[in-house]
Amino acid sequence: MELTRLIVKGGVISPGELRDIVNMGLEQGLKDFSFGSRQDIIFPEVVSPELLKSFKDFEVVSPEDSKKQNIISSYVSSNIMPSTSWLTGDKYLYVLEQFRETPILKVNITDPKQHLVPVFTGNLNFIASEHEDYWYLYVRLPEWNQTLAYPVLIYSWDMARVTSAIEKLLVEEPETIETIFELVNDAEETNNITIDNPLEIPFQPFPYYEGMHRTGNDKYWLGLYWRNNLYSLDFLKAMCDLCLTCEIGKISITPWKSFIVKDIPKNSKLQWEKLLGKFGINVRHSMLELNWHLPVADEEALKLKKYLVTNFDQNDISTYGLTFGITNYIKTTNYFTSIVVEKNPRPSELSEYKIRDTYNLLYAKNFDTNEQEYIVHVQDVDMVELPGLLMELSRMYFDQLGNEKEETVLPESKPEIEEYDVYQCSECFTIYDPEYGDPNQEIEAKTPFENLENDFVCSLCEAPKSAFQKKVFTRV
């Protein structure tokens, strides 16, 4: 079921903006709303035209308009979870600011070292590299059945333009990553650099993200989760007011339909605990409950989750590090949970008869969602069989835990290795690759460095030709 969505770019919203949205909802008689898997705000009921009009300062996507997609980002994990050294919270905000228009493709902007936000669920997946301000790009267009690596690293300030250029290519229905690369290069002048190392994503169990946690700078972050994914507007309004009092600048929505507040001052901790107590907010849900992903406003899926969690609890089953998803349709995009409970559609020829629902169970290879490969465990089983089978998968997970490679190396980024010479600016580390030339300075591809004019300068910092040093790289 499609619902009205409010775009929250990158899952980042200020307390003032959220309070305005909450006030508009309260004025129109709403009591709560939900968060979506793409870090947007979802109204879990039919929204009146009057309410839609009141959101004139915000971008709202109606159920009839499925073309616009919210950008998701791992900003929510910055400064509180493992991260790439150069990828700060401010850097995310600068990058997100480049996206002036809401994309029609699903765009993910993530740090490969965190494990809270899915890396490969987008059509365009920008993943931070070890080179400051450069990103891997993995592409899976809507009609593609696999994710392919873009052949170069993308500069931070080119990401929005590359996204726009690829969206314009959709009418041509490109079938290969090489075609996309060539057409984007023809359309845009970009500051790409060559990939010198394949993307590696360290395996990590799913993190615990609920409750109050201390950071190293005498501040706290708070993760909040609701069982039914319906967030009280009265509570959210009071929470936004407290954020403003504490001079907290951002609130972060997670893809798990929860949210995180960072930079809570130590001397305000008691105020936050008082707020939670006043509204009866529980921040100690069982770990069995937190690691589930369900469709919004799906009572049947919520009921099934409660049934499964109750069985886990009664049998003292640990699911730490695992994630579960429930879906009532066969997805054409990537899953992003360790284990998927897939409800089978009822045969159309039997629609007049009452028959029992059946389910399939799938699990990610090595139980690592970044592997992008799902294995069918069982098919066409009844609901009563699910708890035992899920417990069986949980035991399989813990049996193999630690046996998987420490690093997940994506196969698309490991072609045959070929050594070749490039020239790197010693001032800003920009690469001149003779294979591609320098379109910014009208230098054609295949132009050797030795053949460049003596007045050649770095396209980024304008350092002279003498500042470039020869480096041996590998062709990826």
What DSSP string describes 42-60? EESSPPPHHHHHHTTTS-E
Q: What is the DSSP letter of 413?
A: G
Indicate the helix (H) or strand (E) that contains 311. Answer: helix 299-314
Please report, in tens digits, the pLDDT of each residue of the chain (476 residues total): 578 899 999 999 999 999 999 999 898 888 999 999 999 999 877 777 777 777 877 888 887 777 899 999 999 999 999 999 999 999 999 999 999 999 999 999 999 999 999 999 999 999 999 999 999 999 999 889 889 999 999 999 999 999 999 999 998 888 899 999 999 999 999 999 999 999 988 888 888 889 999 987 789 999 999 888 899 999 999 999 999 999 999 999 999 989 999 999 999 999 999 999 999 998 888 778 888 988 877 888 889 999 999 999 888 888 888 999 998 765 555 678 999 999 988 776 655 667 788 999 999 998 988 887 899 999 989 999 999 999 999 999 988 877 655 444 454 444 444 556 788 888 766 778 888 788 778 888 889 989 999 899 888 778 899 988 887 654 43
Distances (CA, A) of 246 to 147, 154, 243, 266: 43, 37, 5, 10
- Domain parsing of the chain, residue ranges: 289-408, 416-475
Looking at domain 289-408, its CATH architecture is 2-Layer Sandwich (3.30)
Count CB atoms within 10 A of the CB of residue 246.
Answer: 18
**CATH fold of 416-475, please?**
Rubrerythrin, domain 2 (2.20.28)
Fold agreement between 289-408 and 416-475: no
pTM more than 0.75: yes
Q: Are 269 and 218 in contact (CB under 8 A)?
A: no
Strands (E), 195-258: 200-202, 211-214, 219-224, 231-232, 251-253
